[in-house]
Amino acid sequence: MRLGLFLSSLGEGPEAYAGMVRAAEGSGLDSVWVPDHVLKVFGPVLDPLTALAFLAGSTSRVELGTGVLVLPYRHPLPLANNASTLDVLSGGRFVLGAGIGWNAREFEALGMNVSERGRRMDEILESLQRLWTGERASFSGRFYSFRDAEIGTRPHTQGGPPILIGGKSEAALHRTLRFARGWMGFRDDPASIREVRMGLDLLGEEYGTDTGRLEFGTTMDVKVPTSGKQGDSPEAVVERLGQLQEAGVSFCALSLSPMSLETLAWVAEEVAPKVT
Residue range 40-48: mean pLDDT, rounded: 87
Whole-angstrom distance, CA of residue 276 vs CA of residue 274: 6
pLDDT of residue 42: 80
pLDDT of residue 163: 98
Q: What are phi and psi of 30, to 5 degrees?
A: -95, -20
Homologous superfamily in CATH for domain 2-274: Luciferase-like domain (3.20.20.30)
pLDDT of residue 228: 76
Q: Left if phi > 0, otherwise alpha if psi is -120 to 50, otherwise beta: which for 34?
A: beta
Kindly report, residue by residue over 49-102, the tens digit of the pLDDT: 999 999 999 999 999 999 999 999 999 999 999 999 999 999 999 999 999 999
Kindly report, residue by residue over 185-232, the tens digit of the pLDDT: 999 999 999 999 999 999 999 888 899 999 999 999 999 998 878 999
Whole-angstrom distance, CA of residue 214 vs CA of residue 222: 26
Q: What percent of the chain has pLDDT over 70?
A: 100
**Could you say which DSSP state residue 160 is in?**
S
Q: Where is 265: in which H helix or E strand?
A: helix 261-266
pLDDT of residue 167: 97
Q: What is the pTM of this model?
A: 0.96
Contact 263, 225 (CB under 8 A): no
As beta bridge partners, residue 218 has 252
